[in-house]
């Protein structure tokens, strides 16, 4: 699969994932009353998945940096992880919160559509790894970049929302 040529890329992506996870904790500390509010289930439905997106980039990158890990193990890990992540997205009930809060369609795209697509693509990449398809590593790289972009955009959206709630 030639994973050694991807070492620096996955090191960079994993570092970005862990750094952004830390910054997400800073975001939460900006408005702890808003996040802790029992009525703010929407905040938890939209905030927690961002931590999962960043953590996914860290964990997948770390697994791909393990020396001599067979493609079948990587593929199995990606398949199981993406299925679990899709289950988590359903568990957060973000779609229900989106409807109840009457958020714009663009928020649906960023908070529900893109993440679902990313984890479906990661599942496809896992299957591609199992069959040792040449493009599998490129697909994983693209998905991890997509998850970082989704998390950054959604975290920024949440920072603005929290700051507005704090000043009301």
- Output the pTM of the full model: 0.87
Where are the alpha helices (H) located in 2-70, listed in sequence order?
Answer: 7-30, 32-36, 41-65
Weakly modelled stretches of the chain, pLDDT under 70: 1-2, 30-44, 98, 101, 165-168
Q: Which of 18, 61, 46 is nearest to 156 (CA)?
A: 46
pLDDT score for 168? 61
Distance CA 49, CA 88 (A): 8
Cα–Cα distance, 151 to 153 (Å, whole number):
6
Q: What is the pLDDT of residue 29?
A: 75
54-98 residue pLDDT tens: 999 999 999 999 999 999 999 999 999 999 999 999 888 777 776
Torsion of CA 97, 100, 102, 104, to 10 degrees: 20
Rounded Cα–Cα distance for residues 73 and 54 (Å): 22
Structure confidence at residue 12 (pLDDT): 94
């Amino acid at each position: 699969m030639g994973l050694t040529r991807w070492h620096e890329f996955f090191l960079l992506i994993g570092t970005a994932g862990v750094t952004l996870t830390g910054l997400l904790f800073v975001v939460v500390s900006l408005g702890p009353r808003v996040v802790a509010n029992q009525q703010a289930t929407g905040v938890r439905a939209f905030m927690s998945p961002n931590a999962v997106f960043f953590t996914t980039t860290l964990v997948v990158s770390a697994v791909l940096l393990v020396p001599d890990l067979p493609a079948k193990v990587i593929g199995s890990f990606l398949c199981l992880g993406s299925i679990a992540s899709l289950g988590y997205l359903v568990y957060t009930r973000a779609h229900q919160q989106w409807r109840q809060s009457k958020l714009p369609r663009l928020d649906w795209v960023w908070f529900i559509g893109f993440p679902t697509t990313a984890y479906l693509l990661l599942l496809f990449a896992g299957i591609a790894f199992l069959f040792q398809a040449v493009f599998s590593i490129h697909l994983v790289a693209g998905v991890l970049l997509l998850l970082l972009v989704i998390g950054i955009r959604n975290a920024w959206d949440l920072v603005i929302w929290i700051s507005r709630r704090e000043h009301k």
